[in-house]
Amino acid sequence: MSETSLSGRPLRADARRNRERIVEAARELFAECGRDAQMDDLAARAGVGVGTVYRHFPTKEAVMAELLRQRFASFADNAREALEDPDGEPFEVFAALLRRNAELMARDAATRHALTGMGQTVWGPAAGERERLLGITAELIARAQRAGAMRTDVTASDLPMLMCGLSATMGSGGAAFDWRRHLEMLLDALRAPGAPRPSA
Amino acid sequence: MSETSLSGRPLRADARRNRERIVEAARELFAECGRDAQMDDLAARAGVGVGTVYRHFPTKEAVMAELLRQRFASFADNAREALEDPDGEPFEVFAALLRRNAELMARDAATRHALTGMGQTVWGPAAGERERLLGITAELIARAQRAGAMRTDVTASDLPMLMCGLSATMGSGGAAFDWRRHLEMLLDALRAPGAPRPSA
DNA sequence: ACCTGAACACCGTTCAAGT
DNA sequence: ACCTGAACACCGTTCAAGT
């Protein structure tokens, strides 16, 4: 989907290059300015005319939506790697994934702005990747629960909720919140009551 | 502060009425439209000219900042009531406050939009009320910890972080997250490991 | 097929004229 | 002192002309 035009046809080579440059420039610009980033600036940074940006993305929100979609794809890829980890205590595999994806989100202000500052419009295009992530997460959760290391009432759909909350504390919360601490508290909340905690 | 003009002088009676109508209209309008609410619409709904809105608030963000400030004042008022509750198990008093303030936030989309969608600009005016809330919260936390019902490593500054995260799950998370469940998970994370949990 | 950038429309903010 | 609303400026989006 990231390689086809709005009409669904494969893109000409120069158009594909332009599209990639736009997305890359957008990631930088939205990270700096959030929703206030300007389309003219985006075009300039990408080295194209504004019209070209609009040829690839119908609106400004559509640009942010694509950034979000790509990020969810990375999340899902990381989840798949975690799933294929042969050994490793199931809860810790799960916890490591959350830490890894959180680090990724912490470095990507553009995605955080999309997550916290925008309505449903932005979610649509990412829905597919989101489902993929959710499916793999469900499997990781099931494993940890079978091992008796995770509370049995945790569902996969709890995770987007918690991570969305976490992203809010990373972002412009005004103060510099310690999101790593926040994440560890969440992990503690997910652990089975009696289960042994790691070192700490 | 909510009764004085920009120059710090007391307001003329009609001006004070106008200011209140603007704030009230803003709470409705920002709840509906978030940051996209328009100043002309705000003026119309308040029954004044745009110029009057700008006489009371220098920018659109300043309007949202005032909404946030008022909400933090309510949070702090609720916290004070909790502090003065003569009996009641300390952790449950604390938990009840969090639930109460969360319900307030859930019904106030304008504040959520201010919290999640905006930068530092909006926090400034609410700083005073925020400090007041933090001070009282610290006392409630200390009590619960003395009673052995709360983890000893919890600090007052953890709370804004967690509540900010919670507000993100109430807001436009795209899906309808179950924020009440999220809150209960957070409360579980704060409880002392060995402490008895309520009914549930 | 795709690109460009001037032109248009919309909305935040200002300010001259009013009471 | 405060209010009004037309005018201005800025930025998202469109579209006629180009390759």
Residue nearest to nucleotide D2 (CA to C1'): B15
| Residue A15 CB in 7 A reach of strand C | yes
Q: Flag whether pLDDT at A200 surpasses 50.
A: no
Q: What percent of chain A has pLDDT over 70?
A: 92
What's residue B1's pLDDT?
Answer: 44
The encoded tokens of residue A87 equal: 């050994």
What's residue A2's pLDDT?
Answer: 46
Mean pLDDT of chain A: 91
pLDDT-derived band of residue B200, with 50, 70 and 90 as boundaries?
A: very low
Among A169, A65, A61, CA closest to B115: A169
DSSP 8-state code for residue B3: T
| Residue A31 CB in 7 A reach of strand C | no
Q: Flag whether pLDDT at B181 surpasses 70.
A: yes
CA atoms within 13 Å, Cβ hemisphere of B82: 29
CA to C1' distance (Å), from A26 to D18: 27
Give per-residue pLDDT as tens, A164-194: 999 988 976 555 689 999 999 999 999 998 7
Give per-residue pLDDT as tens, B138-177: 999 999 999 999 999 999 999 999 999 999 889 765 556 8
| Residue B39 CB in 7 A reach of strand C | yes
* Cα-based distances in Å from B11 to B1, B4, B6, B56, B66: 11, 6, 10, 10, 17
pLDDT-derived band of residue B6, with 50, 70 and 90 as boundaries?
A: low
Give per-residue pLDDT as tens, B76-104: 999 999 999 878 899 999 999 999 999 99
Total-model pTM: 0.90
From residues 21-60 of B, list those within 7 angstroms of strand D by Cβ: 47-52, 54-56
Under a CB-based contact definition with an 8 Å cutoff, are residues B167 and B112 in contact?
yes
Q: Which nucleotide is nearest to A53 (CA to C1')?
A: C3
List the single range of A12-16, A23-27, B27-31, B117-121 with lowest mean pLDDT: B117-121
How far is Cα A26 from Cα A45, in angstroms, rounded to an integer? 8
A193: closest CA of chain B, how far (Å): 8
How far is Cα B180 from Cα B172, in angstroms, rounded to an integer? 15
What's residue A1's pLDDT?
Answer: 44
Among A18, A20, A5, A27, CA closest to A52: A18
**Hey, is the C-beta of A109 within 8 angstroms of any chain B C-beta?**
no
Q: Flag whether pLDDT at B105 surpasses 50.
A: yes
Mean local confidence (pLDDT), A137-148: 97
B189: closest CA of chain A, how far (Å): 5
The encoded tokens of residue B143 equal: 């009590």
Interface with A, mutate which of B120, B129, B164 (most A CBs under 10 A): B164
Give per-residue pLDDT as tens, A101-126: 999 999 999 999 888 877 778 888 99
Q: Flag whether pLDDT at B60 surpasses 70.
A: yes
What's residue A184's pLDDT?
Answer: 96
Phi then psi for residue B10, to 5 deg, are: -65, 150
| Residue B174 CB in 7 A reach of strand D | no
